[in-house]
Structure formats: C-alpha cells, structure tokens
Amino acid sequence: MTALHLVHDFMAHYGYLALFCGMALESLAMPVFSEIVLAYAGYLVGRGELAFLPSLAASVAGSLGGALVAYEVGRRGGRALLQSRLGRWIPADRVERYEARLRRSLGPAVVLGRILSGVRSVSSYVAGILRLPRLPFLAYSALGATIWSGGILLAGVLLGERWETLVALVHSFGLAATLFALAAVVAVVLWRRTARGTRPR
C-alpha cells in the first residue's frame, strides 16, 4: 500500500486526529510527509468533509506537540543523541547545516525549520541539543508551522482533485517552486473569480 493510500484511509477514518498525529510524527523525524497529509486534508476541506480552521488548528497543534517532545529529547540527550539508535533517523549533514543557521539567526532559522522539507524532521532535536530558549523556540515554531500548514492546506483546497500534483512538486523542486506554485494558484483563482464577477449580465 502506498503512502497516498495510507493517508487516504487514515484521514477518512480519523479526520482531524489524523492531521494532528501526522504532523506530530513528522516533527519527531518519523517517515511521514506532511505535504501529503496537508494537501489531502485541503482537498477534503474543498469537498466540505473538513473545515479549514479546525484543520489548520489540528495541524499546527500536532506540529508543535511533536516539536516540543523532540526539543526535550534533544535537550536531555545532548549530542550523544546523534550517536544513539535515534540518530539513525537524524541525518548528520542536515544537523550540521541547520545548526549553522541557528547560530547565525535564531528566529528566521526556526521559522524556516518548520517549512523546509528535510529540515522539519531534525530542527527541534537540534534546537534542544543547543539548548535554545524554550518559549522563543515554540513561538517561532508556531509561526513557521502556521505558514506551512496554512499554505499547503489552501493549495489543496484550490487544486481539488489535482492535489497530488502539489506533493510531486514539493518532492521534486523543494520550497522555492512550491511557494511559486502556491502564488500562481492563488493568482489564477482570484483572476477567474474577478473575471466572473465583471461579466455583463
């Protein structure tokens, strides 16, 4: 069974709980891709099976819940954590790159850490290992999670049955292409609605 089928079945049975759990597991470096969960949830919002704001709240809460657990694990385990069994789930090269970003600029690095694919799964562990202040970390994480979750949910709503193309785009081209695609989708939808509103009756 593919990841898409698993997401479909889980979301069909558990709805908002599935959103919460999927986001939390990704924050813990488990092999869950939030773009799949969020895009499909957005599709369900468009169909009226879920509501946008509760979906956003469940997504952000799950992301923050997982991030806080990972932060505490990193804070208590320190760098020895990277040599433990858990270290197999945390690629060393990503840790080093993200650590360098955190040391240069805390706020933007934490926000981007909730958005960038491949970094979301390690960012909270690294923040804990570096013993970053807990409250600023959570505040910036909440901002990043809201931007990421809200953007992908909205794109899933707008794309409808073509929501899988968004997942493929994220996996193939990363953040820059995804943001460009989101902007393009929003622009096209707004243009179409404006055009319909200005047609002579």
Q: Would you say residue 181 has pLDDT above 90? A: no
pLDDT, mean of residues 112-138: 80
User: What's the rounded Cα separation, in Å, for the pair 19 and 33?
Assistant: 11
Give the pLDDT of residue 87.
55
Q: What percent of the chain has pLDDT over 90?
A: 15
Give the pLDDT of residue 76.
83
Looking at the structure of the chain, the number of domains it has is 1
Summary mean pLDDT of the chain: 77
Q: What percent of the chain has pLDDT over 70?
A: 64
- Interval 51-96: pLDDT, tens: 999 999 999 999 999 999 988 988 887 667 666 555 555 556 666 6
What is the residue type of 64? Answer: L
The secondary structure of the chain as a DSSP string is: --HHHHHHHHHHHHTHHHHHHHHHHHHTT-S--HHHHHHHHHHHHHTTSS-HHHHHHHHHHHHHHHHHHHHHHHHHHGGGGGGSGGGGGS-HHHHHHHHHHHHH-HHHHHHHHTTSTTTHHHHHHHHHHTT--HHHHHHHHHHHHHHHHHHHHHHHHHHGGGHHHHHHHHHHHHHHHHHHHHHHHHHHHHHHHHHHHTS--
Give the pLDDT of residue 152.
85
CA torsion angle for 28, 29, 31, 37 (degrees, to 10)?
60
CA torsion angle for 93, 96, 99, 101 (degrees, to 10)?
-80
pLDDT, mean of residues 102-117: 73
pLDDT class of 12 with cuts at 50, 70, 90: confident
pLDDT, mean of residues 154-159: 84
- Interval 20-52: pLDDT, tens: 998 998 888 777 778 888 888 988 998 899 999
Give the pLDDT of residue 142.
92
pLDDT class of 1 with cuts at 50, 70, 90: very low
pLDDT class of 177 with cuts at 50, 70, 90: low
Give the pLDDT of residue 61.
96
Tokens of 39: 């895009």
Give the pLDDT of residue 21.
92
Give pTM, 2 decimals.
Answer: 0.75
Which residues constitute the domain of residue 50? Answer: 3-197
